[in-house]
Amino acid sequence: MLALLKRFAGRFALTFTLVVLEAVAWTLFPLAIGRAIDAVLRDSLRGLYELGGLGVAAMAIATARRVVDSRAYARIYARLGEDLVRRDPGGGTSELTARLGMLREIVEFFENSLPNLINVTVGFGGTILILSALNPTIAIGCLGVGGTTAAIYALTGRLTTRYNRGLNDEHERQVDAVGSGDPVRVGRHLRDLMRWNIRLSDLEAANFGVVWLLMMGLLVYSVGAAAEATTEYGSVFAVVMYVFQFGDSVILLPLYYQQWLRLREISGRIAAAGVAS
């Protein structure tokens, strides 16, 4: 996928810039809401103006980013699809069809998942920095939960890759299986396909359950710790919202990591056909 980034560097630079700006705007919302609450309690409208301005800016950036993305990634997919068929004209129909689908999955990752990943990553880092200023003890708790989560998914990464390899092998057999007209062969293929999906789902469910318990413990602790640290309602609200936002990041980041493992396996197949991905 690094080759893909290099090949279309100009288009990616523009979209990524807009994504980062959008992520920064969203990260500032809990702080802006907290400031607005405290300002209103002091009979001031300044916080409300700041919140409104942030909302308008975030909307403008998000709209521009989506308009640019839809056009840029449509061109990228068409170009790569042409290259795939041109450079591997002797490939079987089943294999080429499957790889065009996999190629679309890679492009969709850059168009849809990667912006969300950047949003989550910026939110993760921004949350830690802001919490460090608002309540350092809670920030340390967040780092502990984040580190534990990273360790859990790192330990299961090799198993995730193996399951994805088996799933992709079955996808490449699909057209041949269906084209055979043999119900027994089709049934066996579909059962194998679902078996790999179930293994991936079960692994993710186990990891998610552990991480969720860690986050609930952190959230309960943060509510009490924030209330004890200050009597300003807006500040307490901001701290709790940032911990909640951190929880979203901790739950979502591993999912993107697993998706990256799958796409890395797919990229190897596409690269074997001579297409930069």
**Structure confidence at residue 69 (pLDDT):** 79
Domain that holds residue 37: 2-272
Instruction: Return the higher-pLDDT residue of 138 and 80.
Output: 138
Is 265 inside any structural domain?
yes
**Structure confidence at residue 145 (pLDDT):** 92
Spatial distance between the Cα atoms of 221 and 233, rounded to a whole number of angstroms:
17
Is 116 inside any structural domain?
yes
Is 247 inside any structural domain?
yes
Which segment, 108-117, 142-151, 241-250, is predicted with the most confidence on average?
142-151
Instruction: Kindly list the distances between the CA atom of residue 98 and the CA atoms of 12, 88, 109, 188, in Å, as whole numbers in the listed order.
Output: 26, 13, 17, 18
Say which range, 34-43, 98-107, 162-171, 236-245, has the weakest mean pLDDT: 98-107
Is 160 inside any structural domain?
yes
Query: Residue 164 carries which side chain, given as an amino acid letter?
Result: N
Band (123; pLDDT cuts 50, 70, 90): confident
Is 261 inside any structural domain?
yes
**Structure confidence at residue 223 (pLDDT):** 85
Domain count, the chain: 1
Instruction: Return the higher-pLDDT residue of 77 and 245.
Output: 245
**Structure confidence at residue 231 (pLDDT):** 66
What is the residue whose two structure tokens read 């170009």? 79
Band (53; pLDDT cuts 50, 70, 90): very high
Whether residue 44 has pLDDT greater than 60: yes
Across 193-205, average pLDDT: 87
**Structure confidence at residue 260 (pLDDT):** 78
Each residue's pLDDT tens digit, 20-35: 898 888 888 888 888 8
**Structure confidence at residue 57 (pLDDT):** 92
Is 27 inside any structural domain?
yes
Closest CA to 252 of 129, 148, 118: 118
Whether residue 170 has pLDDT greater than 60: yes
**Structure confidence at residue 161 (pLDDT):** 82
**Torsion-angle region of residue 210: left (phi > 0), alpha (psi -120 to 50) or beta?**
alpha
Is 277 inside any structural domain?
no
CATH of the domain at 50: 1.20.1560.10
Decide if 203 contacts 163 (C-beta within 8 A). Answer: yes
| pTM for this predicted structure | 0.65
